Structure 1
Amino acid sequence: MNRDSIFISHATPQDNEFSIWLTSRLEMLGYKVWIDKEGLLGGERFWVTIQQAIQSSAKVLFVYSKNIVTNEGILKQGIENEIEYAKSIALQFHIQDYIIPLHIDDSPYNLAIGLPNINHIPFNNNWAEGLKILKKKLEKDSIPQIFDTSKSVMAEWYENEYISNCSIIPKTELFYTSWWSVSDLPKEFYMYQFSNEVQAKAIRNSNQTIPVSLMSNVLSTFDAKLSFVVNRDDENIELKPVHTYIYSLNDILYGFESDKFPQHRDVENHFKRLLYRVVSNFLIYKGLWRNEMSNKRLAYFLPKYEKIKKIDFTYPYSNRKKSKSILGKFESIGMWHYAVSIQPMLFPFVGFSLKSHILFTSDGFKIIDDDKKQHSYRRKKGKRFFNEEWRDLLLAFLQRLKDDNEEIKIKVSQEGLVMKMKEWPEMFWSEVGYNDPNSKMDLDKIEDYYEEITEESND
């Protein structure tokens, strides 16, 4: 018999998500895969068809999870039938490593008789890493790659049964961007140049009640009356700047001519640096903590100071209310926290580009200091976050920054000048909309990992 396909045995419907993902990835790599589509769709399973599929398979991939047993800890009948039949085929035809368990969760290795002694491929931490190991095993055992990837039945089924229900539809809908704009600024921006960086740093340190940014020997601020007095050995010393530069917002946004420092690009950079300092200080003032990401950016998150409280808000242009928490418990591991990193920008709005993150702490404060665990937890927690979930987390995060007057205002000078932020991110109305997926089938595609795998195949 010509064994040229791969049989996937899994618990339905609990492990459909992983099984569909795996089938699509294997077919994209050129493997012919058999999966019980009737079981996926909730139809009647035909044992004769399943037997024939196992008989013609070069490998049986057993999706191993806590879902393969009943509440009483007994192997489910359909799973047991498939595995026992596969064992008989392996014994009859002397096939080595015919059954390959794919371990996708933290379940013990003794759920099925005989399988603890078979090497399990770990998918529980990272599906893509598990796929790489599986791919190497299939290549080592010379499993043929004969499938025409352009004729994937799974891809066709996936398109017809899932994607078509999540298409773009005609309807007027309000969309939210990740741009958070400044709504009001002081009219003038000041740059104070000192003889050296030591002097500039000393003056910045003596003006800690307002935001002042430092780049080299230049301080930037919105304060026209910065204090230039520092205390050294109980003596007040005045350190005046050698140059003072004053610019309007129009100067910064539309440019000006200069053949010496500061040129327009210098002023832009100092202005954006100050914007970052203003909002960074404000977020810390509002009780947020900072965490340095792998790309060196800082992400701001709310620790668990007290009992977890939801943030109440009403959507703009609507009476619809929402309550949302931006942190919570995560299994037995600790806490998850919604976090935001900020990037100053001048176009198309003066403000910030916001990027959303999920961080994990062991106790509500201490970040779990293991990048692999953070990545694994982030995928597990975030894989069910669609557009609406991310949007609501961002909106709740911003609403928490409001003062008692329902405004987001930041003091930027000793005389009480403020920088005011909009209470919502930038929005726009569209004449078309999109239905967020409400199915698990579209989760964890991880295209970047797949590209890496296909690159390895072409080496």
Structure 2
Amino acid sequence: MTRVSIFLSHATPEDNGFVHWLGARLELAGFSVWHDLGQLKGGDYFWDKIEGTIRNESFRFLAVVSKAAVNKPGVKDEWALAQTIEKSMPGFVIPLRLDDYDFSQLPIGIHRKNVIDFANGWHKGLAALLDTLTEANAPKVSAPDPRSARHWLAEVKEGAILRTEAKESLDSTWLSVISLVSFRQSCKPRCSA
């Protein structure tokens, strides 16, 4: 079996937003991405499916390191398996730092590896990751096509309003008012009431 998948290991649900963003961009670049958000279906023996994908189908394993991920037993299990595979496939594990998790506290298996930092801008991390995958000759399964990433988009009913949490800055051209003039006072000499 040919290894073509890029496996995304992350904390669910805490890092799902990032995984949706990253997975869509990797698929737009032509890579096959495996993620538990879409590949696991009702009734699946999920650990069997995850283990089989990591062991047999994955070309690279992206370990999304975050404050939430490092404490999840399932994520730790995935990382341990990937580190075992890396012994026979150097470069298999690529750690991605998502938040301000302290580099000195990285789990022992990935502590000595260079980490791609997404904490200082997702776009910067993506550029570094794409360079890494290109240099590793990661197999592409398709030409870039926006339709290939449609399944990453949340299902939205037509006309629905989406609520998002994000900081926004507000710029205004309002000027401060020094004083107000009453209409009656300003038109006494000229107005007849």
TM norm structure 2? 0.77
How far has the Cα of 1:107 moved from its partner? 1.0
Q: 1:141 to 1:13 in 2, by over 3 A?
A: same
Q: 1:113 to 1:4 in 2, by over 3 A?
A: same
CA distance in 1, matches of 2:26, 2:39: 19
In 2, are the aligned partners of 1:66 and 1:105 still within 8 Å (CA)? yes
Aligned to 1:49: 49
In 1, are the aligned partners of 2:20 and 2:152 still within 8 Å (CA)? no
1:112 aligned onto 2:113 = no
Aligned to 2:166: 384
Name the aligned partner's letter for residue 7 of structure 1.
F
**After TM superposition, which residue ranges in structure 1, 4 or more long, deviate above 4 angstroms?**
38-41
How far has the Cα of 1:129 moved from its partner? 1.4
1:22 aligned onto 2:22 = yes
Name the aligned partner's letter for residue 124 of structure 1.
A
User: How do 1:195-234 residues align onto structure 2 when only pairs under 5 Å count?
Assistant: none
Q: 1:10 to 1:140 in 2, by over 3 A?
A: same
Query: Which structure shows the higher helix fraction?
Result: 2
In 1, are the aligned partners of 2:8 and 2:61 still within 8 Å (CA)? yes
User: How do 1:312-391 residues align onto structure 2 when only pairs under 5 Å count?
Assistant: 384-385=166-167
SS at match of 1:24: helix
CA distance in 2, matches of 1:406, 1:12: 59
1:5-57 deviation per Cα after TM superposition (whole angstroms, max 9, x unaligned): 1000011111111111110110110011011116999x988111111221210
Aligned to 1:312: none
Q: 1:96 to 1:156 in 2, by over 3 A?
A: same
Q: 1:168 to 1:405 in 2, by over 3 A?
A: farther
In 1, are the aligned partners of 2:63 and 2:95 still within 8 Å (CA)? yes
CA distance in 1, matches of 2:21, 2:40: 12
Name the aligned partner's letter for residue 106 of structure 1.
D
1:223-251 deviation per Cα after TM superposition (whole angstroms, max 9, x unaligned): xxxxxxxxxxxxxxxxxxxxxxxxxxxxx
Aligned to 1:328: none
Q: 1:47 to 1:131 in 2, by over 3 A?
A: same
In 1, are the aligned partners of 2:4 and 2:138 still within 8 Å (CA)? yes
In 1, are the aligned partners of 2:24 and 2:152 still within 8 Å (CA)? no
Structure having greater relative contact order (Cα 8 Å, sep ≥ 6): 2
1:146 aligned onto 2:147 = no
1:394-450 deviation per Cα after TM superposition (whole angstroms, max 9, x unaligned): 57x73x72345399xxxxxxxxxxxxxxxxxxxxxxxxxxxxxxxxxxxxxxxxxxx
SS at match of 2:68: helix
Any unmatched runs of 5+ in structure 1? 70-74, 170-382, 408-459
Structure of greater Rg: 1
1:125 aligned onto 2:120 = yes
CA distance in 1, matches of 2:38, 2:44: 6
Identity, in percent, stands at: 36
Q: 1:151 to 1:52 in 2, by over 3 A?
A: farther
User: How do 1:40-119 residues align onto structure 2 when only pairs under 5 Å count?
Assistant: 46-55=46-55, 56-69=57-70, 75-91=71-87, 94-109=88-103, 110-119=105-114
Q: CA RMSD, aligned part only?
A: 3.4
CA distance in 1, matches of 2:53, 2:179: 66
How far has the Cα of 1:147 moved from its partner? 3.0
Name the aligned partner's letter for residue 77 of structure 1.
P
CA distance in 1, matches of 2:115, 2:131: 14
In 2, are the aligned partners of 1:61 and 1:101 still within 8 Å (CA)? yes
SS at match of 1:78: helix
CA distance in 2, matches of 1:108, 1:406: 59
SS at match of 1:116: coil
CA distance in 2, matches of 1:96, 1:7: 16
TM norm structure 1? 0.35
Q: 2:177 aligns with which of 384, 389, 402?
A: 402
